Structure 1
Amino acid sequence: GKSLLVDTMKELFEGNRALFAGLAAETRWDWRRRHPVIQISFSDGVLQSRMELDRRIHDILRINRERLGLVLSPGVDPADVPGNLLDLIRMAHREIGQQVVVLIDEYDKPILDNITDARVALAMREGLKNLYSVLKGADAHLKFVFLTGVSKFSKVSLFSGLNQLTDITLDAEYSALCGYTDADIDSVFAPELPGLDRERIRAWYNGYNWLGESVYNPFDVLLLFRKRRFQAYWFETGTPTFLVKLLTEHRQFTPDLGRIVASEDVLSTFDVDAILPEALLFQAGYLTIASFEELPNQYELTLKYPNHEVQASLNGSLLRSYAGDPSEPGRHTGRLWRLLKAGDVAGMQALFHAFFASIPHDWYRNSPIAQFEGYDASIFYSHFAALGLDIVVEDTTNHGRIDMTVLACGAVWLFEFKVVELVPQGRALQQLKDKGYADKYQARSEPIHLIGVEFSKAERNIVRFEVQTLPAAAAG
C-alpha cells in the first residue's frame, strides 16, 4: 500500500479536491493551497549500473519539469543530478509561490535489485546518496518530504546530513497507515465477503504489525476479491532468491524463524556490507512484530510470521533450497497433508525417510546448510510449516519443552528430535512419555500422537521413528 499512499499524498498536496468528495480528507484538508509536487519513483524496472541509474534520474527530473511547466535554469547541466534537482526545487518554489513537496517511492530499490553484487550495489548507493543529499540544503524550499522503501539504510550511508528525517516505521500512530484493517475489510469490502471464509481471510493475509493495529496485505486482498481463490499472490510476485541464499549461508535453523528476538537497532540496521538475516526478513515483510518489551534505551522485539501465506511460502522456498532438488519438496508436502488427514503415522515415517534418502550425496557434502546440527530438524519442521499448519516450536509445559507441536486434522502431534551421535538411541519417544508432555493437550479430547524422531549424521537419514498414540478417549 505504500505506492498508493504516495499517489494519494500527491493528489492532496496538488489540491485535487474532487477525488476526495465524501471522504474524511474533504473536510480536514486545506484546499486553498496547492503545492508543487516532485514525484520520484524507482518501482519500475531493474537498473543494473550507475549509468542506468543516473539516466533514470535525469528522465524523472525532466518529466517533473514538464509536468510543472518549468525549464532548466541557464548554466545548469542536466546531467548534474544534484544540481538539476536543486534547481527544480528552487524554481518550483519561486514560480508557483508555494513550498515544494517531494515524494520518493521505493527509494532503495536500485540497491536491493543488485544486492547480490556488492560492487554494483555500492555504486547504486552512492548514486542515490548523490540525489538525496540535495534535500538537506533545500530545506527552506520544502514543505514536506516523504520516502517509502523496503529497507532502512543508515542515515550515514545514504542520507548524510539529512537529520530532519523522521522514521515512522515503528510508530503505533502510523501502524495502520498502509494496508487494510479488520474494520476496513468488514465495512468497505463488505459486498465482497459473501462466499468467502472470513476467518480464513484473516489467517491468510492479516497480521502485519508495527507496534500498533495489525493490517492486511492490500495486494493479496484485492486479488482474492477478484479471483475468489486463496493463493500466495504477494509472495509469488518475486521469489526471495537472495533471502533464501542468505539464510542458507547463515545456516538458519528454520524452526527459529517464527520466534526471533532482536533489539530495535538491529532490525533497523541495513547496509550493503552488513546484511543481517533478521533485519532483512523483517524489513522485507517476511517477519513482523509479535510482541515487544521496552528496555531502558530501546525496544526488544519478538518476531513472527505475519500470516499463513508467508509462513507456508517462505518455508516452501527454504525447503526447496535445503533439499538440493527443487522438485522434491512439492511432492512430499502434498503427500504429508494426506497422511495427516488419514492419521497415518507409519506413512509419515516412510515419507521422511524417502525424502532424506533423495537428497543428492554431492549436494549434501558441499552445502553449508547440511553441515550444521539443526539441519535435519529444519527439514522436518519446514515440511509442516510449508503447509501453513498451526505449529508451536519448543512448546512449554510444566515439565519442560516439546521440540515441536502440530495441531492439525483433528489430532495433536508431539515431536521430539534427537541426534544419535549425541545421545543414546531410544531417548526421543521416552522423553515425551517420561515428561508427560501429552498432559497439556488432554483437554482437547483428540488423539495425541507422541513421535520420537532420531537422526544419524553418519547415515544422513532417520534411524529411529517411534510412535505412541493416545486415543481421544484416553487423551480426554
Structure 2
Amino acid sequence: MKKLPIGVQTFAEIRSDNYCYVDKTPLIYRLADQGKSYFLSRPRRFGKSLLLDTIAEAFAGSRELFTGLYLENHWDWDRRYPVVRIDFAGGVMRNRAELDETIIAMLRQQGLRFGIELEQRLAHLVLSELIERLHETSGERVVVLVDEYDKPILDNLESPELATELRDGLRNLYSVLKAHDAQLRFVFLTGVSKFSKVSLFSGLNNLEDLTLDKRYATICGYTQQDVEQVFAEYLEGVDLEELRRWYNGYNWLGEPVYNPFDVLLFFAKEKEYRNYWFETGNPSFLVRLVEERRYPVPNLERVMASDELLSSFDVGSLELETLLFQTGYLTIKERHRLGNEYFYTLTYPNREVKRALTGTILSALAKSAGERARYQMALYQALAAGDCDVMRDIFHAFFASIPHDRSFAPLTTWYRKNQLAGYEGYYASIFYCYFTALGLDVVVEDSTSVGRIDMTVFVEGKIYILEFKVVSKGAKTGSALAQIREKRYADKYRGQGEIYLLGVEFDKESRNIVGFEWATAQGLS
C-alpha cells in the first residue's frame, strides 16, 4: 500500500518515496504553454505550496521526478530555468521593517543557491538585482513563484493601519515583476485572498487570474474521480456518499473538489469523520464580524454575491461574504447572469464546514464548552425521541444563560436584510446554530406553495417545522403555531416521516422564550 503524503512539504519527497499522488501536471503544462503570469486564490491547506513546488521542479529540469506523469513526455527537459521561490507561509510579520528584513534574507538565500551575492539593501531592489543577475548568468529567463503572497496582510487584519503598511510594502515588491517582464519566463502567485489590483497589484496588471477560471477549477483539490482511482486501496468499508457529504463540495465554477488535507487525514486516522481542515484554522476574526454586523447566521445557507464582491477586497473594505468565500467557509453553489453582470449563490461547501462553523459561533455565546456540550447532547436526544417539552426547556435555559454583554446586542440593529427580520433573526440564529452544529439537515426559509417555513429540521425519521415570532411583553402567545397549521406547512412532508409543528415566540425585553407550543401533524399536544 502506498504511503499518504501527510506532512510532506515538497514534490521531490513525494515522488522519491512511493507516495500516492494525484497528477495535476496536465494543467501545469497548459499554464506554461499558453501563458506566462498567473494568480490563484484558494483557501489554506488546499495544496497551493505543493503545486508551486511541482512547477519549480519542472522548470528546474528534474525529469526523474515526473516518471509516469503527464509532463514526463510533454515538457522540454533540455532547458533548465533559474527558479526564485518567495514564501510567506512561515512566521508573522509585526511591522514593515520586519517584512523587509524577511524578504531581503529570503532573496539573498535564493541568490546563494546560484552562487550570487546580492548587493542592494532595499527589498524591491534586491529582487530586481536577483532577476537581472540570474538572467545574465544562466542565459535563460527567470521563473518567480510566490507562495502565500498575502499572509503578512491577513495576519494583521485586526490592525488596519499595520495591515495597510504591510500591503504597501508588498505592492512595492510585486511591482518589480512587471518591470522585469522581458526577463521572466513564468510568474505564479498564490494566496488565500484576492486583493484588488488597485490596492496591491497596481504595478502588476498583467496577471491572469485563475481563481474562477473553469479550466483550472480542479488545479488544487481532489475530484471524486481522483479519490476513487488514486486512493482505491484505502476505500474498503468507506461509504463514498458520506465521504462526499463531509469533505467534497468546494466549487470554483468547475467540477467540485475535496480538500486534500481532509482526505489524507481521514484515511490516516482510521477513517473517522472529523473536522480535520476546520481545526487547523482560527475563524475567531470572522465570528467577531458576524457578531459585530449582526449577520443572521441562517442566511449563510444561501448568500447572494456579485462578481465584484467575490473578486477582491482591501484592508479598508472588509466584506464578510468575501472573507467567508475566499477563506473557504463558503463556496459557489450557482452562477447567474443578468445582462452583462454575473451574480453568485454561495453556501457551505460540505458538512464539516457547516457544522464546525456554526458550532464555533454558538460557542461564542455559550458560557463554556462544557455547557454547550451538555445542551447539545440533551437536545439531540430530545429531537430523536420527539420530546418537545425537553427541547423547550433546553432552549429556555440556554437563552437565560447568555449575559446581555455577550449577546448580539443591541438587537434593535439586527441585520435588516434578513428575511427573519429584527429580533427574529437573532433568535433563529441560535436555533439554527444548535441544529447545524449537531450535523442535522436544516432547511431555512423552506418554500411551500403557500409561503415559507422559517426552518425545517430532519433527524432520525422525524421532521420538525418551526415558525419564530417576537411578541410584546404580556401579549397572548400561540400565533406562531397557528400560522403553521393555517398555512398547512406540514402538507409538503406528508408521508415522509413523523412531523412535529413548533411555534416559538420570544419576548424582546426578557430575550427569552415566552411561548413554545407544539403539535404533531395529526393534532395539538
- TM-score grouping bracket, smaller chain normalisation: over 0.9
What residue is the counterpart of 2:481 in the other structure? 429
Matched position secondary structure for 1:155: coil
CA contact (8 A) 2:384 2:462 kept: no
Aligned residue among 370, 374, 377 for 2:428:
377
Task: Letter of the 1:426 partner, please give it.
Answer: G
Deviations 1:259-309 (A, max 9, x none): 000101011221111000000000110000010101222310000000011
Is 1:441 equivalent to 2:493 in the alignment? yes
CA contact (8 A) 1:320 1:328 kept: no
> Aligned partners of 2:341, 2:224: CA distance in 1, in Å?
29
Task: State the shift of 1:222 in Å.
Answer: 0.6
Equivalences for residues 35-434 of structure 1 within 5 A:
35-72=81-118, 76-77=119-120, 79-228=121-270, 229-323=272-366, 325=368, 327-364=370-407, 367-368=409-410, 372=414, 373=423, 374-421=425-472, 425-434=477-486
Aligned residue among 511, 520, 523 for 1:460:
511
Matched position secondary structure for 1:468: strand
CA contact (8 A) 1:249 1:368 kept: no
> Aligned partners of 2:439, 2:206: CA distance in 1, in Å?
42
Task: State the shift of 1:338 in Å.
Answer: 2.0
Between 328-337 and 151-160, report the one with greater CA deviation.
328-337
CA contact (8 A) 2:367 2:401 kept: no
Matched position secondary structure for 2:453: strand
> Aligned partners of 1:81, 1:59: CA distance in 2, in Å?
9
> Aligned partners of 1:70, 1:369: CA distance in 2, in Å?
62
Q: Structure 1 369/16 Cα, relative in aligned 2: closer, same or farther at 3 Å?
A: farther
What residue is the counterpart of 2:36 in the other structure? none
Deviations 1:329-376 (A, max 9, x none): 233222222222222221111110110111124434x84468632211
Task: State the shift of 1:196 in Å.
Answer: 2.6
> Aligned partners of 2:143, 2:384: CA distance in 1, in Å?
57
> Aligned partners of 1:295, 1:68: CA distance in 2, in Å?
53
Structure 1: tracts of 5 or more residues without a match: none
> Aligned partners of 2:86, 2:176: CA distance in 1, in Å?
14
Is 1:19 equivalent to 2:65 in the alignment? yes
Q: Structure 1 240/40 Cα, relative in aligned 2: closer, same or farther at 3 Å?
A: same
TM-score by length of 2: 0.86
Between 12-21 and 414-423, report the one with greater CA deviation.
414-423
Deviations 1:32-77 (A, max 9, x none): 22111111111112121112111110121012112222222xxx42
What residue is the counterpart of 1:4 in the other structure? 50
CA contact (8 A) 2:365 2:402 kept: no
Aligned residue pairs total: 466
CA contact (8 A) 1:453 1:465 kept: yes
> Aligned partners of 1:287, 1:151: CA distance in 2, in Å?
13
CA contact (8 A) 2:141 2:184 kept: yes
> Aligned partners of 1:81, 1:297: CA distance in 2, in Å?
42
> Aligned partners of 1:324, 1:367: CA distance in 2, in Å?
16
Matched position secondary structure for 1:148: strand
User: What RMSD over aligned residues (CA atoms) do the two structures have, in Å?
Assistant: 1.7
> Aligned partners of 2:469, 2:288: CA distance in 1, in Å?
27
Matched position secondary structure for 1:158: coil
CA contact (8 A) 1:320 1:327 kept: no
Matched position secondary structure for 1:157: coil
CA contact (8 A) 1:448 1:470 kept: yes
> Aligned partners of 1:194, 1:161: CA distance in 2, in Å?
52
Task: State the shift of 1:323 in Å.
Answer: 4.0
Deviations 1:426-454 (A, max 9, x none): 1111111111111111142x101111111
Task: Letter of the 1:359 partner, please give it.
Answer: I
> Aligned partners of 1:30, 1:298: CA distance in 2, in Å?
41
CA contact (8 A) 1:419 1:456 kept: yes
Matched position secondary structure for 1:439: helix
CA contact (8 A) 2:506 2:513 kept: yes
What residue is the counterpart of 2:19 in the other structure? none
Matched position secondary structure for 2:335: strand
Task: Letter of the 2:493 partner, please give it.
Answer: Y
Task: Letter of the 2:287 partner, please give it.
Answer: V
CA contact (8 A) 1:47 1:110 kept: yes
Task: Letter of the 1:272 partner, please give it.
Answer: V
TM-score by length of 1: 0.94
> Aligned partners of 1:24, 1:333: CA distance in 2, in Å?
50
